[in-house]
Amino acid sequence: MEAWLFGLVILVGVAETLLSLVWNRLYFSIGIPIFRRKVDVSSPGPRVPATDRLEAALTKSAFPPLAFHSWAPDHYGFREKGWRGGLRLGYTPIMRGRLTFQPTAARVEVVGLLNWFTLFFVAFAFFAVPRDGSRFLWFLAGLLGLIYLMQSRRYGQVARTAAAEWSASGVV
Q: Which of 45-49, 69-73, 131-135 has the lowest mean pLDDT?
A: 131-135
Q: What is the mean pLDDT of residues 121-135?
A: 79
Quote the CA–CA distance of 57 and 75 in Å, as a whole number: 18
DSSP SS3 for 134? helix
Count of beta carbons in the 10 Å neighbourhood of residue 27: 20
Strand partners, 68: 78
Q: What angle do CA 20, 22, 27 make, to 5 degrees?
A: 45
Largest CA distance in the chain: 64
pLDDT band at residue 11 under the 50/70/90 scheme: very high
pLDDT band at residue 87 under the 50/70/90 scheme: very low
Q: How far is CA 163 from each of CA 36, 82, 117, 155, rounded to the nearest angstrom?
A: 15, 25, 30, 13
Q: What angle do CA 130, 123, 114 make, to 5 degrees?
A: 150
Structure confidence at residue 129 (pLDDT):
76
Name the H helices within the chain: 2-21, 25-29, 51-57, 116-128, 134-168
Q: What is the mean pLDDT of residues 131-155?
A: 88
Q: What angle do CA 53, 55, 56 make, to 5 degrees?
A: 65
Q: Is the model's pLDDT at 1 over the cut of 80? A: no
Structure confidence at residue 43 (pLDDT):
85
Q: Is the model's pLDDT at 4 over the cut of 80? A: no
Count of beta carbons in the 10 Å neighbourhood of residue 155: 24
Structure confidence at residue 124 (pLDDT):
85
The more confidently predicted of residues 84 and 137 is: 137
Residue 98 CA to its chain's centroid (Å) = 7
Q: Which of 2-11, 17-26, 127-136, 149-158 has the lowest mean pLDDT?
A: 127-136
Structure confidence at residue 130 (pLDDT):
74
Q: What angle do CA 144, 156, 22 make, to 5 degrees?
A: 75
Task: Name which of 145, 150, 162 is nearest 58 in CA terms.
Answer: 162
